[in-house]
Structure 1
Amino acid sequence: MDNQIKIIQCKHENGFELAELRARAMKPSLETVGRFDEKRVRSRFLEGFVPEETFKIEFNNELAGFYVIQQKEDHLYLNHLYIDPQFQGNKLGAFAINEIKKVAKNKKSPIKLGALKQSRSNDFYQSHGFIHTHDDEFDHYYIWKH
């Protein structure tokens, strides 16, 4: 079947390929703000990688992206959502957000997240119903409530 999207629970051995995907996806935004560091972009992800919280997005049986969703006391925290640049434009991010929203509705939890200032992801999250709550030095923060 063409254009098949699958969400798959990650395993420990997926860490390095996900770190590489993250580096490719974040490079343009981090370069825009003068913060791209070839090693740090990978190590920062790998230091906190928890396979049980991480889900691969496959498109036609190829790794196209991933997200990390963490259960907090009173909300779900979307810690990462990246689509490999070569797969962007296939509505994979929207598919992933809709899957995450289903989990949040089942748990009766809001979703919170942070997005790098000057990143195109800010428009993406707002277009999917996330409301801006506050900022810090580098990020905008959002919440989605069902």
Structure 2
Amino acid sequence: MKTWVLYYSRGGNTKKIAEAMAEELEVPKAEQVPPAYPPENVQLLFLGTGIYAGKPDSKMVEFIRTLNTDRVKNAAVFGTNGGQDTAIETVKSLLREKGINVIDETFSCKGKYFLFINRNKPDSEDLKAAKVFARKVYDSLKA
């Protein structure tokens, strides 16, 4: 099943999660948006964003708005946050508005925020949980 992992990350937290998911699923490396754009006929797109002040980054929102839905059949959403993870639902809603089937289950974890908040996040347990999430979603669609 053709699978892609895309993300937007300012500080590198979401990138770590995306790379762990890509490694678990043995897909080409995770790529940051923009300029990454999914190739034709992606069966499963993992789409991750850093969450800033409770919102997804504007670059991620713009990417979703320009996404050619003929290229993506299913999407799973993940993110990292300093405190709130409400932006995950925003991303899911934007994808659904485009007509993409969005997996209900999501993944979110704390990310390092400034110097001392969530200092060692995401940690090895978060990366392990991200891999479990990715595998579960992938296997559920493959079946």
Give the TM-score, by structure 1 length.
0.37
- Structure ranking higher in strand proportion: 1
Q: Which has the larger radius of gyration?
A: 1
Give the TM-score, by structure 2 length.
0.37
Tell which has more relative contact order, 1 or 2 (C-alpha 8 A, sep 6+).
2
